[in-house]
Amino acid sequence: MHILLRNLLDNACRYADNNTQISIFLDSQYLIIRNVCAAVPDAMLTLCMGRFKRGVTDKEGSGLGLSICQQICQQNHYAFSMRNRLDGVEGVEVLISKP
């Protein structure tokens, strides 16, 4: 789980706008990590979770972080998803939930 959290937080920080906060929410059903960044097209959100796949960015990276997170979640029977934020703030959120 350490690798999962490290990768999620690394991605949230790496792709966030400068001088913004990363939000982490935890309740009985979900872990949600949010950042503030440009919205990502829905098709690209799914693509970004593939191995060696990256969004349109000039940031450094190998394209493995989210793929590793997804695999860790599958091995531990957690649901893993990523979407644009729904709270009116431009950005992305990753959701991990119990089955």
Q: What is the CATH number of the domain that holds 48?
A: 3.30.565.10
Look at residue 57 and tell me whether its pLDDT is greater than 70: no
Q: What percent of the chain has pLDDT over 90?
A: 54
Q: What is the pLDDT, as a whole number, of residue 64?
A: 66
- 64 versus 27: the higher-pLDDT residue is 27
Domain residue limits at 62: 2-97
Average pLDDT of the chain to the nearest whole number: 86
Query: Rounded mean pLDDT of 47-76?
Result: 73
**DSSP one-letter string for 61-98:** --S-HHHHHHHHHHHTT-EEEEEE-SSSSSSEEEEEE-
Average pLDDT for 76-90: 94
Instruction: Give how many domains the chain has, as a whole number.
Output: 1
Is residue 73 scored above 50 in pLDDT?
Answer: yes
Share in percent of the chain as helix, strand, coil (round to 5): 30, 20, 50
Does the reported pTM lie above 0.85?
no
